[in-house]
Structure 1
Amino acid sequence: METAPHPARNTVSHLAITPSILYFGTPVVLLTTENADGTFNLAPISSAWALGQVVVLGLGRHGQTGANLAARPELVISLPEPGQWAAVERLGELTGRPAAAGRGPRRARYEPDKFTAAGFRAQTSHTVRPPRVAECPIQLEARAVRVGTDAAGDFLIVEAGVLKVHADPRLLVPGTQHIEPAAWSPLIYNFRHYFGLGPELGHSGVSETPPTGAAARCAGGRKASGGVR
């Protein structure tokens, strides 16, 4: 038997809008790259997504990170948690490129030691030269395999192959290689505001980790009442 559509879906009138940004809830990552003089740059970005063992990154064309990756492809992708948003925001006010100082909407300040300025510590990597951000619960050592421009020519699109993953052991499902979803909350950049995750609502049928909390209770109830229909 077909169910009637939800009435709310038939009564909403949408408006055509032209927003200045489209950051509709994406994770923040911190990128560590190597400068020409052997020092390291640390920069926050909010355009990152993973496909298999590749992470795709969106960068400004004229930043230090893009220039570094074009010449030296090794990098670290560190994922901060919600409580670290203030340190991420401090990084957003800095630039590692002297020529970019005073430019952009923030009038960025040149800072050669961004780790210290943001209150982070550098942690030695295992397979690449750039260091990890010690305070970040998840860190990905990687290598850029492709650096190009986006369709409009305004940004750089970087495809980075992940070489090694580091995770805080408190995030792992005991005895497995899996991150416990209920234990990990990424820092989310949502229309230039910072958020964390809320309670779990449900889980995918292909998930290899069980649901937790209210979602687990709902799943148990569905099984008890007949399972898949």
Structure 2
Amino acid sequence: MHLVPGLKVLYFGTPVVLVSTLNPDGTANLAPMSSAWWLGQSAMLGMGDNSQTAANLQRHGECVLNLPSSAMVDAVDRIALTTGKSEITGYKLAQGYRHVADKFALAGLTAQESDLVAPPRAQECPIQLECTVTRATPFGGPEVSAHGYEVRVLRAHVEEEYLIPGTAYVDPLRWDPLIMKFCDFFGGGINVYPSRLAEGWALPRIGALQ
């Protein structure tokens, strides 16, 4: 029997992406997000307007989409509930957000120079996609507080061990992306780490349901 529970969260399962962008002072910002999908050589990123990443994308128009494996979940979670903005809105304060200027350092990741764009790559991420923003479209309503950013992938960097030998294809048996499903971290189909983001959104804890 189907129920109509009035779902508050619709994150049924999408890959986690660490988006690196440039701040106005030229320093790098790194932000985890999971509203991303790909088609051909383009991707669509969905994010709220009240973030440093959104401001950087609209101002500078370049980014790197760093895809962590499920084994990197601890690095991703270290920068959850952080923001590159020095002024934090009330609702983010209530969720537990704090300002962090150097999120590469907090995550324990290494900034690596990109080939075609100014924002750096995250060296430890097995897949890194250098991108340029081609379009920003208001999303949601009736009061718009988010945008969808269409980005064009200019260059993809992939660790050799994740490629099918002799081809330009990623081996799906070797590549285990970190997935965010209803604000919890999953890899290989199992819950791999307790999520600070889920705590910030006051979602039911998985352990409490088992």
Q: Specify if TM > 0.5.
A: yes
Q: Which of structures 1 and 2 has the larger relative contact order (alpha carbons within 8 angstroms, sep 6+)? A: 2
| Alignment pair present for 1:29 and 2:20 | no
Unaligned runs of 5+ in 1: 1-12, 200-229
Q: 190-199 vs 83-92, which deviates more?
A: 190-199
Shift of 1:103: 4.6
The structure 2 residue matched to 1:173, chosen from 161, 164, 169, is: 164
Aligned residues: percent identity?
A: 44
Q: Secondary structure at the match of 2:118?
A: coil
Q: Which residue of 1 aligns with 2:114?
A: 125
Q: Which residue of 2 aligns with 1:9?
A: none
The structure 1 residue matched to 2:49, chosen from 46, 61, 78, is: 61
Map residues 16-165 of structure 1 onto 2, 5 A cutoff: 16-100=4-88, 103-104=91-92, 105-152=94-141, 153-165=144-156
Whole-Å separation in 2 of the counterparts to 1:170 and 1:111: 33
* 1:41/1:176 CA distance change after superposition, 3 Å: same
TM-score (norm 1): 0.79
TM-score (norm 2): 0.85
Q: Which residue of 2 aligns with 1:224?
A: none
Q: Secondary structure at the match of 1:116?
A: helix
Q: Which residue of 2 aligns with 1:210?
A: none
Whole-Å separation in 2 of the counterparts to 1:63 and 1:164: 25
Indicate conservation of the 8 Å contact 1:101/1:109, yes or no.
Answer: no
Shift of 1:101: 6.6
Unaligned runs of 5+ in 2: 191-210
Whole-Å separation in 2 of the counterparts to 1:18 and 1:195: 24
Indicate conservation of the 8 Å contact 1:96/1:112, yes or no.
Answer: yes
Whole-Å separation in 2 of the counterparts to 1:117 and 1:50: 28
After TM superposition, where is structure 1 displaced by more than 6 Å over at least 4 residues in a row? none
Compare the two structures and name the one with the higher strand fraction: 2
Whole-Å separation in 2 of the counterparts to 1:101 and 1:198: 35
Q: Count how many residue pairs are aligned between Structure 1 and Structure 2.
A: 187
Whole-Å separation in 1 of the counterparts to 2:163 and 2:60: 32
Indicate conservation of the 8 Å contact 1:48/1:55, yes or no.
Answer: yes
RMSD: 1.5
Q: Which of 1 and 2 has greater Rg?
A: 1
